[in-house]
Amino acid sequence: MITGLGPITPIGIGREKYWEGLKAGRSGVDRIRDFPVDDFPTQIAAQVRDFKPEDYLERRDARRMDRFAQLAVAGAKLALEDAALDLNSVDKERCAVILGTGIGGLQTFEEQCRTLHQQGPARVSPFFIPMLIGNMGAGQIAIAFGFRGPAKAVTTACASSTDAFGQAFRLLQGGEADVVLAGGTEAAICPAGLAGFCALKALSTRNDEPERASRPFDRERDGFVMGEGAGILVLEELEHARRRGARIYAEVKGYGCTCDAYHITAPAPEGEGAARAMELALADARLAGEEIDYINAHGTSTPYNDKYETAAIKRVFGDHAYRVAISSTKSMLGHLLGAAGAVEIIATCLAVAEDIIHPTINYQHPDPECDLDYVPNEARRQTVRNALSNSLGFGGHNATVVLSKYNGC
């Protein structure tokens, strides 16, 4: 059961601001301001501009964390507050943390390499490695809240936080935990990160129209927009949530993951791997395709992803593919890389809880190869009984989760 939501995103921090931004179709993409970008072909990103670490962490602790870990701990705090979970009343040996990140402490890596080359090895921070390594988001959350159950990091590129969520689901299913903080975090918007994705020619170069740059499924899409942020969810075993009278946003019904085994960056033709992940998740949930009302798509705004994800949906759902509502959160947030799946699961969870589907903004030019219902430009009120959320990552990693309304049984 999902009982708490902690999003930190380019369009809002906390459940209420994030959800309002999604429903309003607000873009978080703007020109990068944190470092000079005139020499970069892409000069835009979706940054979390109003995040202040000291609002969530002791200043001393914040200085010893990379931004990706700061975002993670802050998201966890918001999620626990949203869940109204009394940490003094839980068995912390049965509380776990499963966190995804695609890149980890890239900003720290860049800064300390600069220090090494300019000032020598004696000036490198003793916190360099502890700030850099990708498991430290999960580790810092566990330290902050005293959770002594499993604390693990998952790195499957852009599927990382959806896989982390799926593994959290399995922990609860297996009776190994009562409460799991699950999700993802990423903060890779720095010169090295931007240069790397520019070199891949993966990013949009629509620098003169930042808010319109991320346009999933639109015929004129030209690449994704880098984003940053975190999404942390509180998952609880049903009886544990019932005993404390928790508000239940949605029930986790299924999880499936696959690998394309095809290419380091390109998706398998016709979305074969993504289709298998959806099929596995549906089978795990014991649902037929016709029972799905909404799909939160990976929807990156790249030519190949959107084309092949559309093909994968058709392959799995047949004629129902034309009746199911689909939207891309990335149209507003950009691509949060390893954190993308988590903030998208939060959006899917709220769609299930409130029967509102957020739009895919910037959808202006229909693409004959992307011809499904992408909920263009305006939110839609619609009953959402069961929903899928897809994440597809470099290396061919695919992950899908199924969320459903909790019926009280």
Q: Are residues 271 and 239 in the same domain?
A: no
| pLDDT beyond 80 at 2 | yes
CA–CA separation, 39 vs 4, rounded Å?
42
Q: What is the mean pLDDT of residues 277-304?
A: 98
pLDDT of residue 367: 97
| CATH number of the domain encompassing residue 369 | 3.40.47.10
Q: Are residues 262 and 237 in the same domain?
A: no
pLDDT of residue 408: 77
Q: Are residues 186 and 205 in the same domain?
A: yes
- Could you list the residue range(s) of the whole structural domain that residue 387 is in? 254-404
Q: Are residues 237 and 284 in the same domain?
A: no
pLDDT of residue 238: 96
pLDDT digits (tens, 9 = 90+) for 219-267: 999 999 999 999 999 999 999 999 999 999 999 999 999 999 999 999 9
Q: Are residues 227 and 261 in the same domain?
A: no
In a domain, 129, yes or no: yes
Catalytic residues: 158, 298, 335
CA–CA separation, 330 vs 317, rounded Å?
23
Torsion of CA 407, 100, 145, 19, to 10 degrees: -50
| pLDDT beyond 90 at 85 | yes
Q: What is the mean pLDDT of residues 37-56?
A: 97
CA–CA separation, 302 vs 291, rounded Å?
29
pLDDT of residue 6: 98
pLDDT digits (tens, 9 = 90+) for 356-376: 999 999 999 999 999 999 999
Q: Which of 243, 266, 299 is the last residue of a domain?
A: 243
Q: What is the residue-averaged pLDDT of the chain?
A: 97
Q: Are residues 286 and 350 in the same domain?
A: yes
In a domain, 409, yes or no: no
| pLDDT beyond 70 at 156 | yes
Q: Are residues 232 and 293 in the same domain?
A: no
In a domain, 193, yes or no: yes
Q: Which of 214, 243, 272 is the last residue of a domain?
A: 243
| pLDDT beyond 90 at 407 | no
pLDDT digits (tens, 9 = 90+) for 171-193: 999 999 999 999 999 999 999 99
Q: Are residues 224 and 131 in the same domain?
A: yes
Burial of 310-338, coded b for 16+ CB within 10 Å and e otherwise, reads: bbbbbbbbeeebeebbbbbbbbbbbbbbb
Q: Which of 25-34, 68-77, 231-240, 263-272 has the lowest mean pLDDT?
A: 263-272
pLDDT digits (tens, 9 = 90+) for 94-119: 999 999 999 999 999 999 999 999 99
Q: Are residues 143 and 279 in the same domain?
A: no
Structure tokens at 153: 């990091």
In a domain, 57, yes or no: yes
Q: Are residues 140 and 72 in the same domain?
A: yes
What is the model's pTM?
A: 0.97
Beta pairing, strands 397-404 & 386-393: antiparallel
| pLDDT beyond 70 at 54 | yes
Q: How many domains does the chain have?
A: 2
pLDDT band of 409, cuts 50, 70, 90: low
Q: Are residues 258 and 201 in the same domain?
A: no
Which residues are CB-contacts of 279 (< 8 A; sequence separation ≥ 6)? Answer: 256, 316
Q: Are residues 174 and 65 in the same domain?
A: yes
pLDDT band of 397, cuts 50, 70, 90: very high
